[in-house]
Amino acid sequence: MADAGMLRFHVPEPEVRPGGTPDFSDVTIPKAGSVPRAEIDVDPRTIRDMAFSIIRVLNRAGEAVGPWAGLLSDDELLEGLRHMMTLRSFDARMQMAQRQGKTSFYMQHLGEEAVSCAFRKALAPGDMNFPTYRQAGLLIADGYPMVTMMNQIYSNEADPLKGRQLPIMYSSKEHGFFSISGNLATQYIQAVGWAMASAISNDSKIAAAWIGDGSTAESDFHSALVFASTYKAPVVLNVVNNQWAISTFQGIARGGSGTFAARGLGFGIPSLRVDGNDYLAVHAVAKWAAERARKNLGPTLIEYVTYRVGAHSSSDDPSAYRPKAESDAWPLGDPIVRLKNHLIQRGVWSDERHTQAEAEILETVIAAQREAERHGTLHAGGKPSARDMFEGVYAEMPPHLRRQRQQAGV
Amino acid sequence: MPRRTMIEAIRDAMDVSMARDERVIVFGEDVGFFGGVFRCTQGLQAKYGKSRCFDTPISESGIVGSAIGMAAYGLKPCVEVQFADYVYPAYDQIVSEAARLRYRSNGDFTCPIVVRMPTGGGIFGGQTHSQSPEALFTHVSGLKVVVPSNPHDAKGLLIAAIEDPDPVIFLEPKRLYNGPFDGHHDRPVTPWSKHELGEVADGHYTVPLGKAVIRRPGAAVTVFAYGTMVYVAQAAAEETGIDAEIIDLRTLLPLDLETIVASVNKTGRCVVVHEATLTSGFGAELSALVQEHCFYHLEAPVARVAGWDTPYPHAQEWDYFPGPARLGRALLETMEA
């Protein structure tokens, strides 16, 4: 071998930084309807291509086309649109509430509303999601009261988590929404364990695991995949690829080395890639994976290709690391606009009704906010008692905590 | 009453628990078909089937993480980490998840799991088969931490741990698996069949978590020990002739402060002994508690005898392991202070 010279260290960089012109020319977007639909009991080895394409239903004209179309009625789609609009409105109000100092922190879903809202409608009662902090659409679409969500965000006297948790770290067993943890990826393997438990118990319930593109680099992502595959656990393994992990573009998690969906293939898990801004496609793929799990055919990995339009959190300023107009250039558009256009094209919706619905939803959100604020906000009004701080560490309070509670004078 | 080794007692505890409650599930590396590298789960898969007792991939975070998910579903997983030295990949799951699930969800979800792991040295296990990481768990709110020292307690404590509604770290001193060990490595080891604490009742019984027990009543000085050190302390008391009261803590978190305080207030002197390294070890917590609660009864500084602040060595096993000679010296110094 010839003299190899000095080694050079490689660090991936996004194509464009602030000040540059957004460029997604390297993102290949297949035509809507072009990816075939397989039977749920397909031999996973024969659908490997699906991990490298993108399943899409809605075309540019707003029509639902191809083999993944046709699952949802007009009413179901109108409901889906309402859920996404509600989540967006909720986000905007809570973001504003954070800016007004009514809470310490918030994280929006802007641009990703279809993923969690459509997925929820593919689940059955009793199924359990193990969400990250960016799937509140699961709660909205399941009818969890917005007031309760806000009470949690405000850490007020009616907060179901007694003020112990950072805002948006919701928990609702009743609504199939596992307690959110700040530690990334931990819930991915827990979802697999929950699914294993359902199988061990000969139950019919399935689990859904959630993770972002950045967190796929955590070790729990890998342990989840191997456990899910080993035990054929009835779990849907969701990867929401919104291109960004705070300031870090998905290439640092080694996106672009293939796809995140393709990671599943090495574990023998059927893996699909879907247009995350296409409500119909998300729902169709989620339903396919849920049915596979329910029929004891094992796990499915789904990569949702989407874009994080908003800041990472209320503590983040994306203009420091990516072009301001990048989200406008995103080739998969806006999930709400796309479903709206489809419904107009179907003849069951109009711009006027959309504007009217926006106003109605905003009113509902404001009413919920008003009700929540009657119970207090982070720095004003009713708050959880300091006694609550000592409760629930254990099922029964041990003597050392009783002593500390006495010391605290509560 | 039948006499059993600690291994048999631990296996019996899981057997009894699995028979009583079908939600009890046992899994870990080599735990299923093979019955565990220490034989602690031998026969359980044959008896209860692969859905109740099974082998896992080599992934500690996977084992504990999946157990947490199972517990959230409503099962009661009792999982094994092959050596306590290998629990660290699961540390995030234990600390950030298992310990806090009840608290952060306000009881919406709970985590009644047991994580069993062989612990401790004295077996030429070198750096990664000898560690005693209990202090890494006693520092974590929401966990319970148990260290049995004999077959009777091991069974009763393990059944209690499995039935407990909270996550329990169950550290099994592997040096005690086949017989008590007092640190005299040059003498033949006696099996549990020759020891009264090897008597293990059939069927269901529990030893309550959070309760210490006095192994040797005494008036001169209190020794706080757990696991293998209980026998080291007994040997040291015998060899020095000091009338030490030896307390086997059994549960480190929550701790039986009442028994601790009563004993030190009676003796006025106290020595803490553990295998784990000294600095920020559990002995520091014990020592601080004694100072806070027994200050006016203390006639000597609280002494700590522990592993040195080094990784656990191989060839220097008996220079590292806090044996009866080292503890004996500390007892004498404490009596003279």
pLDDT band at A80 (very low <50, low <70, confident <90, very high): very high
End-to-end CA distance of chain A: 75
Pairing of strands B244-248, B213-216: antiparallel
The pLDDT value recorded for residue A257 is 83
> What does the pLDDT read at residue A2?
62
Is the Cβ pair A224, B255 closer than 8 Å? no
Superfamily in which the B6-198 domain is placed by CATH: Thiamin diphosphate (ThDP)-binding fold, Pyr/PP domains (3.40.50.970)
Do residues B75 and A202 touch, judged by C-beta distance below 8 A?
Answer: no
Q: How far apart are CA A278 and CA B311, in angstroms?
A: 55
How far apart CA A267 and CA A227 sit, in angstroms, is 9
Residue B172 pairs in a beta bridge with B118
B129 included as an active-site residue:
yes
pLDDT, tens digit (0-9, with 9 covering 90-100), for A342-363: 999 999 999 999 999 999 999 9
B256 to chain A: closest CA residue: A399
**Mean pLDDT lowest among A87-96, A233-242, A324-333:** A324-333
pLDDT attached to residue A364: 98
Answer CATH for B213-336 from 3.40.50.920, 1.10.30.50, 3.30.230.10, 1.10.10.10: 3.40.50.920
A30 upstream amide cis, omega within 30 of 0: no
Q: What pLDDT is attached to residue B188?
A: 92
**A69 touches A284 (CB < 8 A):** yes
Residue B65 is nearest to which of A179, A220, A394, comparing CB atoms? A220
Q: What is the largest CA-CA distance in chain B?
A: 60
Closest partner CB to A223 (pick from B61, B100, B257): B61
Q: In this predicted model, what pLDDT tens digit does every residue of A127-156 receive, in sequence order?
A: 999 999 999 999 999 999 999 999 999 999
ipTM: 0.97
Contact status of A169 with chain B (Cβ, < 8 Å)? yes
Residue A22 has a pLDDT of 92
Q: How confident is the model at residue A25 (pLDDT cuts 50, 70, 90)?
A: confident
Q: Which pLDDT score is estimated for A4?
A: 79
pLDDT digits (tens, 9 = 90+) for B66-102: 999 999 999 999 999 999 999 999 999 999 999 999 9
Locate B308 and state its tokens.
């040195």
Helix/strand/coil for B70: helix
Rounded Cα distance between B113 and B116, Å, is 10
pLDDT tens-digit profile of A165-213? Answer: 999 999 999 999 999 999 999 999 999 999 999 999 999 999 999 999 9
User: Does the CB of A178 have a partner CB in chain B at under 8 Å?
Assistant: yes
CA triple B177-B4-B161, angle to 5 deg:
70
Q: What is the predicted pLDDT for the residue at A120?
A: 98
How many CB atoms are closer than 10 A to CB A163?
Answer: 20
Q: Which two tokens stand for residue A363?
A: 């009113």
**Whole-angstrom Cα distance, residue B151 to residue B5?**
6
**Torsions phi, psi for B242 (to 5 deg):** -85, 135
A127 touches B: beta carbon within 8 Å: no
* Alpha carbon of residue B325 to chain centroid: 23
Task: Work out the average pLDDT over A111-130.
Answer: 98
Task: Give the minimum alpha-carbon distance from A178 to chain B in angstroms, rounded to a whole number.
Answer: 8
Q: Which residues of B touch A207 (CB under 8 A)?
A: 69
Task: Please state the φ and ψ torsions of residue B272, each to the nearest 5 degrees.
Answer: -105, 135
Same fold, B6-198 and B213-336: yes
Q: What confidence score (pLDDT) does residue A397 get?
A: 98
CA distance B101 to A300: 27
Q: Determine what percent of chain A is predicted with pLDDT higher than 70.
A: 100
Write the residue in B65, B108, B210 that is nearest to A171 by C-beta.
B108
The domains of chain B are located at 6-198, 213-336
**pLDDT band for position A61 (50/70/90)?**
very high
Torsions phi, psi of A101, nearest 5?
80, 15
Domains defined for chain A, CATH in brackets: 48-314+327-379 (3.40.50.970)
At residue A205, the pLDDT reads 98
**B123-154: pLDDT as tens digits:** 999 999 999 999 999 999 999 999 999 999 99
Mean pLDDT score of chain B, rounded to an integer? 98
Could you say which of B129, B185, B274, B297 is catalytic? B129
Which pLDDT value is given to residue A27? 86
Cross-chain CB nearest to B109 (options A164, A179, A193): A179
Q: Which residues pair with A342 in a beta bridge?
A: none
Q: Is the pLDDT of residue A1 over 70?
A: no
What separation, in Å, do the N-terminal and C-terminal C-alpha atoms of chain B show? 45
Percent of chain B with pLDDT over 70: 100
pLDDT digits (tens, 9 = 90+) for B324-335: 999 999 999 999
Q: Residue B23: CB partners within 8 Å, gap ≥ 6?
A: B74, B75, B76
C-alpha–C-alpha distance, residues A214 and A38, integer Å: 29
Tokens 């850490």 correspond to A155
Contacts of B108 in chain A (CB under 8 A): 160, 171-173, 179
Residue B275, sorted as left (phi over 0), alpha (psi -120 to 50) or beta, turns out to be alpha
Query: Least CA distance to B77: which residue of chain A?
Result: A197
Q: Which token pair is A27? A: 């993102």
Q: Quote the Cα angle for A329-A333-A334, to 5°.
A: 125
Paired tokens of B179: 């017989």
- The mean pLDDT of A114-121, rounded to a whole number, is 98
pLDDT over 90, % of chain B: 99
